[in-house]
Structure 1
Amino acid sequence: MIFAKCLNSEFLLQKMLRDNCMPKNVQKLIYIFLTGFCCLFVNACDTDRAATAIQNTAVYSVKAQTVQIRDVIQSFSLNGRVYAYARADVRPQVSGVVKERLFVEGSLVKKGEPLYQIDDALYKAEYDYAKAALNKASDQRKQAYRNLRRYEKLVAQHAVSRQDYEDRLLDYALSVDDEKLAQAELDETAVTLEYTKVRAPISGRIGKSNITAGALVTENQSEVLASIIDLSKVYVDVQQSASQWRTFRQQILNGDLVSNHKQNEEVILFFDDGSQYPIKGKLSLTEVQVDEASGNVTLRAVFDNPEQILLPGMAVRAHFAGPIKKDAVVVPAASVTQDSAGRSYVFVIDEENKVKRQEIFTQGLCDFGWIILSGVKPGDKIAVNGTQKLKTGMIVSIEGDA
């Protein structure tokens, strides 16, 4: 039709040129120019029509998935730090000069193993003195007992007065008490003498020594001789916001979530490079109060650490399996796109394989994808790849369809 109009215009042009009195060479140039313009116009129109036809018939191949209902675990991850399962600072319980260090720094020590030897000459002398005093008290008790037995016979024969007998009875009772007192003093000096060997209070790995042989130490001093850490197990403490804790708790009480105590006890640990610690831990403590400064609740998990990979102070991320949401509508994470305003969308595919961009409202991520509050329903078919190329009304082919 356009071509016909161009031909009609050319006929009118020729008639107009014949009736005009302008020179023939000028008429010829005008004729050539207008004829070329008409041809270019016809060619451009054909190109636009071809592009429109290609766009209307273009078909993209996408993968699709049906929206499903699942029971999903409301898992969450929190940053935390590793703390020692048991730690003990070694301090002397008696005063004196350190004669010898008996351990290798950084080695494993057992509970009760001697770590330092303090000069025990004075304490040994006190022990010997207490032991001699006990022997003396024991001999005096025996002598008082013999006198008492003799006076029992004499008073029966009326050879001595009753007062003399009672005095011997008192002497014996006092000698018994003196012997007990001497025994207690001996026990005390024995303990003090034993304290000259500074022993490990717990089993674990001992750190560096803060003193050397020849140093003077005092009883219960503030300076630590060395520290022992039990690394066979470790604690991981994390902080959970009180609002998140309350939300989970309220949803469980309302029946929106179901608590799964067995799964909630399992904790998975990740390092700062994203790698996973091979041994799962168990939740051992949920603090019963909220920290007023941070507004957080402390959760503590315990992990076996046989290879001593986890060290106190290490920053980690703990993954907790939270409560279960029953019959949740879930879509794959790859199917969800967002615009510049932060609104979320999916592309729904109808029975004629036409796509429509549909806004959705999400609750959060789970292991299967996004949990949907509204926007799509179970059974809807949605595109899970190539969404950046899709537009409403476009026809697509679904991969895997015959």
Structure 2
Amino acid sequence: MKCICIGLAACVLIAACSGEQAPPEPQPVPVQTVTITNQAIPNVIELPGRVEPVRQAEVRARVTGIVQKRLYTEGSNVAEGQPLFRIDPRELRASYAQTQAALDRARATLRNARAVVDRYKPLVAENAISGQEYDAALAASREAEANVAQIRAQLESASLQLNYTTVRAPIAGRAGRAEITEGALVSQAEGTLMTRIEQTAPVYVNFAQAASEVLAIRRAISAGKIALDANDRVEVRLTFTDGSEYPIPGYINFLAFSVDEETGTVGLRAEFPNPTGLLLPGEFVRAKLFVGEVQQGIVVPQRAVTLSEQGGSVFVIDAKGLVAARKVTLGSLVDSNWIVETGLKPGDVVIVSNLQKLRPGMPVKRVAGTAGTRKPVTSKPAQPAGAR
């Protein structure tokens, strides 16, 4: 019995000793990193914009009449001067003929009046007729000349009116749908809208920026914090509503010199080539304006950033070699790198791999690898094929 008690006590002692052993330390997770440094980065401003045609013309009726026929295909490209509609010309043709007849009659009267003057001229020198008679004949001749000139002008006006019965394209471009149909009455007085023509190669994109931001950029340029390119051009790149990018960059070609009193913004406009017609007038787009370079900027690779409803965050390695979460304020995404406005400073070590395995406070081990290589950000990336 004594032996059994001693055995039980030994077992309890062994169990107690085994329970006091510390758990094994977690193995460091191998990670790839980048060390934050200041570098010249593009100064990117993102703004919403709308696509507009470079030229737009409203085709309106210039005579009153009944539309006989539409002469173009809706939505097709038309040339300048191409016939679009035909308005019934019969009434204006009759008016033209009537004015032509009046001009012929006035010319006959003028010829007769000049003949009288020619006959009276030698007679008045011989005192065969009075000077009063000669003056009256001369006045009648001049009146006939004025009458001819007046009717000639009326005939030119009638000719224009007759030509306006064929409605032509005032500019080249894409013609929209017809606003009237055959048989409709159009009015010169009301200027009945018949269709619209838009030129969409190239196109304009209009957007607006807060006046305070424009002032801040100008001050930064004056202070040397932002450096423009040699040509002082501002490149613009577009993103569609589905997230895809327009492959051809454009450039700012207009900056308003006044502030909109209602919105407090300054208007800007960029011009974009549109050889394939991908940009449609009225379309909403997001524009990235590359306004020079910020000399002391910070970027991190896109894969290092975790996005959530609260914003962006990254994992960094603290002084103890442990993982720490860091919230960052992000700017624009350029060349697969996020521009960081706040949250990081030069010397911070940012983790770019195995992010799913990491938790704050975990030990990590830095390893070499191309995944952590930070690609330099360029202010003027290479243009895609087809860019001009």
Regarding TM over 0.5, the answer is yes
Partner of 2:85: 116
Pick one of 360, 365, 385 that aligns with 2:353: 385
Seen in structure 2, the aligned counterparts of structure 1 residues 275 and 365 have a Cα distance that, compared at 3 Å, is closer
Q: Contact conserved, 2:61 with 2:191, CA < 8 A, in 1? A: no
Pick one of 119, 123, 133 that aligns with 1:164: 133
Partner of 1:68: 37
Seen in structure 2, the aligned counterparts of structure 1 residues 369 and 119 have a Cα distance that, compared at 3 Å, is closer
Q: Which amino acid aligns with 1:169?
A: L
Identity of aligned residues (%): 30
Pick one of 14, 26, 51 that aligns with 1:39: 14
Q: How does 1:132-147 map to 2 (within 5 A)?
A: 132-147=101-116
Q: Which amino acid aligns with 1:140?
A: T
Pick one of 283, 287, 290 that aligns with 1:314: 283
2:62 counterpart of 1:93: yes
Q: Which amino acid aligns with 1:154?
A: L
Seen in structure 2, the aligned counterparts of structure 1 residues 302 and 63 have a Cα distance that, compared at 3 Å, is same
Q: Which amino acid aligns with 1:153?
A: P
CA distance in 1, matches of 2:138, 2:197: 56
CA distance in 2, matches of 1:184, 1:339: 75
Larger RCO: 1 or 2 (CA < 8 Å, sep 6+): 2
Deviation of 1:180 (Å):
0.6
Q: Contact conserved, 1:70 with 1:326, CA < 8 A, in 2? A: yes
Seen in structure 2, the aligned counterparts of structure 1 residues 342 and 363 have a Cα distance that, compared at 3 Å, is closer
CA distance in 1, matches of 2:199, 2:308: 52
Q: Which structure has the highest helix share of the two?
A: 1
Q: How does 1:218-367 map to 2 (within 5 A)?
A: 218-221=187-190, 223-260=192-229, 262=231, 264-328=233-297, 330-332=299-301, 347=316, 354=321, 364=331, 367=334
Q: For residues 7-49 of structure 1, what are the alpha-carbon distances to aligned partners after superposition, in whole Å with 9 as ceiling and x for unaligned?
A: xxxxxxxxxxxxxxxxx5xx77765554332111211223x16
CA distance in 2, matches of 1:133, 1:339: 84
Consecutive unaligned residues in structure 2, runs of 5 or more: 371-388
Seen in structure 2, the aligned counterparts of structure 1 residues 341 and 245 have a Cα distance that, compared at 3 Å, is same
Consecutive unaligned residues in structure 1, runs of 5 or more: 1-23
Deviation of 1:217 (Å):
2.0
Q: Contact conserved, 2:59 with 2:195, CA < 8 A, in 1? A: yes
Please give the root-mean-square deviation of Cα atoms over the aligned residues, in Å. Answer: 3.4
Deviation of 1:142 (Å):
1.9
CA distance in 2, matches of 1:106, 1:222: 22
Deviation of 1:131 (Å):
1.0
> After the TM superposition, which of the residue ranges 59-68 and 117-126 deviates more from structure 2?
59-68
Q: Contact conserved, 2:311 with 2:328, CA < 8 A, in 1? A: no
Deviation of 1:168 (Å):
1.8
What SS does the aligned partner of 1:323 have? strand
CA distance in 1, matches of 2:312, 2:44: 24
CA distance in 2, matches of 1:41, 1:370: 57
Partner of 2:156: 187
Q: For residues 223-242 of structure 1, what are the alpha-carbon distances to aligned partners after superposition, in whole Å with 9 as ceiling and x for unaligned?
A: 52222222222221223233
Seen in structure 2, the aligned counterparts of structure 1 residues 87 and 330 have a Cα distance that, compared at 3 Å, is closer
Partner of 2:173: 204
Q: Which amino acid aligns with 2:12?
A: F
Q: Which amino acid aligns with 1:171?
A: A
Deviation of 1:250 (Å):
2.1
Partner of 2:51: 82
What SS does the aligned partner of 1:139 have? helix
Q: Which amino acid aligns with 2:17?
A: V
Deviation of 1:61 (Å):
2.4
Q: Which amino acid aligns with 1:215?
A: A
Partner of 1:5: none
Deviation of 1:87 (Å):
2.1
